[in-house]
Chain A
């Protein structure tokens, strides 16, 4: 393999790994930016997305947990991947609405530490519920049949098709969300709310409904990420936690509340991971924290974040 091909492969790998973080981080970022709510349960929404995706897409054999005890050993709808890509976000959107109404809303005016404790606890509860229901074992989330092979790319050579789809799907969703936030009235209110919630309310706009929507959209994005990322790794109840920390780093690097920032941050994290693996595998995890630290020192508000207007 030529050096160029190697470099391009690493970069493409990084782009793909970053894509999942982008999807999770956008939701995290707009919820944090608009609602000023630190949602540590966002990884749990990814977890819910993956398991729902697994159930809609495939039939799985449960050998562990309560579901198996109750006699539901083969479960799942076997409807394929595309239905999952539509159904799961809608369901997780619903979960997001419930979460906003009953978990987040009572805590908006409480300190960050309270929010962190609350949502962290909720994440653990959700994780344990899945563990009780499905058992702690790992499931194989098969790639969709139409994208299970490899494609030949110029210079690079073969690349797994599904990983290219992930980049494509992420790009499409990012464009969609960007359009929603930048070019709609809803987006205008959300953006204004991000800058200065008090002023928006003074202008007579009641923010509770947009807030509800923001939370729902953020949740749905985490759900999509769960479905899209499911076939990459074996599925088990810990995946939510594993995706949460890098996604927070993405938000920190990109800048809270900025969609472009989340994209940039996600790509940077993905590329850092991929490049570090190629250069010094043992330092790949450390690398992303160093990146975050450097960015925070140089630009505390994140690369594309704006300085706080509200006190």
Chain B
């Protein structure tokens, strides 16, 4: 009996279509593009076809990728038409070039979702390859910004692992750090233990890893220092040092615990810059093996990788690199940046104040002082920045607890509201006082502070309209003026009330009509305004942005603004105050 062969896998319809397009394209562009072999379909349904691209005429610039007269590639067509084709080299000559992944894959698409159209066929893919080769040869790739460039251009992440958060500086030297579990999904890396449950975690410096960091300890050691796993190395070689550091940490961590480590990878383009960080985890069994090893021998004498550890798998953790030296704040060019490192008072933590506080906290204010003795009730959750957890707490206390969940490093004080005498010096110390109370008493107190001789703070009042919460008013008293806010507001009111084109804003200086307010709880609540969370977040966001614009060079006056859905024109008007 002859053994029957299993039928060879065949290209799918979409793959056949792409192959036909590629054949036609090569025929039309001979010899620039050639198909150099037959397509092969593997068991995963991937079709790979060898191609050659003529690169002889490509412009080369110093530092650019050296290309031959023609370059060979392997073009892989995924089984599904919804994934982009991949291009690999049959060599690792390009390893270390930006946008080369693990030595042989070309990163044609930084963001395939936005750069690749599944319906566009093969021609754009080949054009993309050509563009990639032109850019690489001309040295147009910036290795400093190439994604994951120090570690082979790929994300090292094993599903199911926690995220490691790094905020403290990390140097190029070996160091001992500590990992502390913050939540089931988060571990914080710090230079000192945060609590008794913090685990020792070695930081291990290494040169760039153009082929990636592997998936087992043996692979990692080989990639860091080829042949480590097989040839004895001197005691001061980097790989024994890595193994020694792992063992030394494991020895001091509890039995049965996984052993984490952090690789501080030198950036090939900027070796002196802060290292790129990778966080890895060895399973508990490997941790226990390391502990036994360390007990038997002095860790520094460990010369090679024991067999028991050779195949220990490494789970790579997503590393949230939040070190200041490698991070650009997402709001860096936005007006709210003016609040960074500021000392800010927020009086009134209601519909506007509760959102304003969160906005300035997220913007990087270093110190907040909150006051609002009002109590959080369920009805307020419709539009104020509180949760079920806060019901029953005073607003200032609830808001402080909420803001502390947003920022670990923010300092928050809670004070008695004005006219408490303790606030008389507030304007001398704070950078900004925001009054969001709509309280005449608070306003009068602010007038008093405006006239303090050594006032440092910019004074601001924020409010919205009671009918829609879609109009906003921001009154500012710059630090260099002693004019009370009430005077500035009064002047703005005169202007608005006599300007027909600002009629929509006149409600801000007029008594509300009966329907302009509502009683949210029959017989148990004073009238309040109409407004949703969407209204208040949007209006507050606009007011805070306007305030941010003003903070660098404050000019006393009044901003009026309206959300787009109100149809109010003008949607913004600044009425400067002149003495």
Decide whether A and B are members of one complex. Answer: no
Q: Report which B residues bind A (CB closer than 8 A).
A: none
Q: Report which A residues bind B (CB closer than 8 A).
A: none
